[in-house]
A and B are shown apart, each in its own frame.
Chain A
Amino acid sequence: MTNESSAPVFFSRALYQSIVDHAHSVHPEECCGLVASDQTGTPVRVIPMTNILHSPVRYQMDPVEQFSVGKSLRLEGMSLWGIYHSHPISEPYPSVVDINLAYYPDVFYLLTSPVTTPPSLRIFQIKDSKVTEFPLILKEVD
């Protein structure tokens, strides 16, 4: 459930648009990808990944891409900040499957859905099966 006391998370409109565009391009399959942050912890890059399940209801990142992107981020001094995926036909809230498979308690999970206009993007952390939503504030410029 939404925790009203959670600090807002700032995210650039350009990154939001990249995620929405990725979701649109593979619709009705689920999209998935990563968000990397720079050394100040600011999210600066959206990295679209392949959903090897090519399904409208499940996703799994291509592990080979995941490994190579992880390595290049490490070499660039960047960090994994967020993990995004789409819910093509349902609201962008973590499902039971999402919660059970959330192995990364310290990153943000971003969910987008095209069922609203404009497409919504919501942001969560998932720790010990507990979902915390953060207010997301889109910035026009980086």
Chain B
Amino acid sequence: MSVLVRIPTPLRPLAGGQSELSEEGQSVKEILDNLISRFPAMRERMMDESGELRRFINIYVNEEDIRFREGVSTPLSSGDEVSIIPAIAGGA
């Protein structure tokens, strides 16, 4: 089953320049694993040393942050859109 994945501008150079691509998977985790196996350079930007999603990477399924669902275990249905959105943050 394939879903649409939206790649944010800063990660596009690591994903062959694509802004959207379709990826196979039943859950967000499967999508991310498949994406990273196609584009290994994305791993470091998305995952920390222990393989967890970085705190400053937000992932949405359709309109909803996966942190308010089941995190990377969030199940997907055909036609879902997965958006990867780096947080915008900083300090003084």
Which residues of chain A (61-90) have a CB below 8 Å from chain B?
A: 61, 63-64, 66-67, 70, 80, 83, 85, 87-90
Query: Smallest Cβ distance from A112 to chain B, in angstroms?
Result: 12
A67 near B58 with CB under 8 A, answer yes
A residues engaging B (CB < 8 A)? Answer: 30, 32, 34, 49, 56-61, 63-64, 66-67, 70, 80, 83, 85, 87-90, 94-95, 97-98, 101-107
- 29 A-B residue pairings within 8 Å (CB atoms): A30-B91, A56-B92, A57-B92, A58-B91, A58-B92, A59-B90, A60-B88, A61-B88, A61-B89, A63-B58, A63-B87, A64-B65, A66-B85, A67-B63, A67-B65, A67-B83, A70-B85, A80-B9, A85-B90, A87-B92, A90-B92, A95-B91, A95-B92, A98-B91, A101-B91, A103-B10, A103-B86, A104-B9, A106-B9
Query: Which residues of B does A touch, CB under 8 Å?
Result: 8-10, 56, 58, 60, 63, 65, 83, 85-92
Assuming A67-B60, A101-B56, is B89 touching A60 (CB within 8 A)? yes
Which residue of A30, A57, A83 contacts B88 across the interface (Cβ within 8 Å)? A83
The reply to whether B10 and A67 form a contact with Cβ atoms under 8 Å apart is: no
